[in-house]
Amino acid sequence: MADDGTPERVRTVRWDDPARLLEAARTRSGAEMLEAVRTGTLPAPPIAQLIGMRITEVAAGRAVFELEAAEFLYNPLGTVHGGILATLLDSAMGCALHATLPAGTSYTTLEVQLHFVRPVTTRAGTVRAIGTLVHAGATLATAEGRIEGRDGTLFAHGTCSMLLLRPRPP
């Protein structure tokens, strides 16, 4: 019990060594790697294990992540923290690009713009972040995404730009 008499809440977090993912990124295409994470052949990255998000769909130019809106993700106002939703949406948009990349090519997010249209609470249950690739050039890519409830309720939407990091020739 907490000092105020309420039940104590405890969350234990375990994660897998990310080295397996780094090695897979060198030898597998983005689509192959993400599918292996989706099916559990490869472990989810530590950030996914920390907040409880999981990839549920992956195809060239599209990625879908899900997250259970849980109390441990709340901010002081009693809603899921915007930074958690930003992480979820950035992951979906980035993986939409990642699913199109050859082995050894990576990317980094340059900018994310989000619009929060309604708060997410535990009443929402599981929310989905749907990322769609809009453009992929030689060095720059853009994507858009939405966070929706199971019933299609829109919670947030946004866009991002990403820098492609292609391997240098030997």
The class level of CATH for 44-165 reads: alpha beta
Distances (CA, A) of 124 to 71, 111, 114: 11, 27, 19
Distance CA(145)–CA(7), nearest Å, equals 37
For residue 4, pLDDT beyond 90: no
pLDDT at position 153, please?
98
pLDDT at position 5, please?
80
Model-level pTM?
0.94
CA angle 33/34/39 to nearest 5° reads 100
Q: Domain extents for the chain?
A: 44-165
pLDDT at position 70, please?
97
Residue with tokens 């295409």: 29
Question: In the chain, helix, strand, coil percent, each to 5?
Answer: 30, 35, 35
State mean pLDDT over 80-93.
Answer: 98
User: For the segment 17-51, what is each residue's pLDDT rounded down to a tens digit?
Assistant: 999 999 999 999 999 999 999 999 999 999 999 99
For residue 90, pLDDT beyond 90: yes
Distance CA(159)–CA(42), nearest Å, equals 28
User: For the segment 114-141, what is each residue's pLDDT rounded down to a tens digit?
Assistant: 999 999 999 999 999 999 999 999 999 9
For residue 1, pLDDT beyond 80: no
C-alpha Rg value of the chain to the nearest Å: 17
CA-closest candidate to residue 56, choices 44, 46, 73: 44
User: For the segment 137-164, what is each residue's pLDDT rounded down to a tens digit?
Assistant: 999 999 999 999 999 999 999 999 999 9
Distances (CA, A) of 136 to 22, 35, 59, 99, 143: 22, 20, 15, 12, 9
State mean pLDDT over 109-114.
Answer: 98
Please give the backbone phi and psi of residue 75, each rounded to the nearest 5 degrees, phi first: -95, 180
For residue 78, the SS3 value is coil
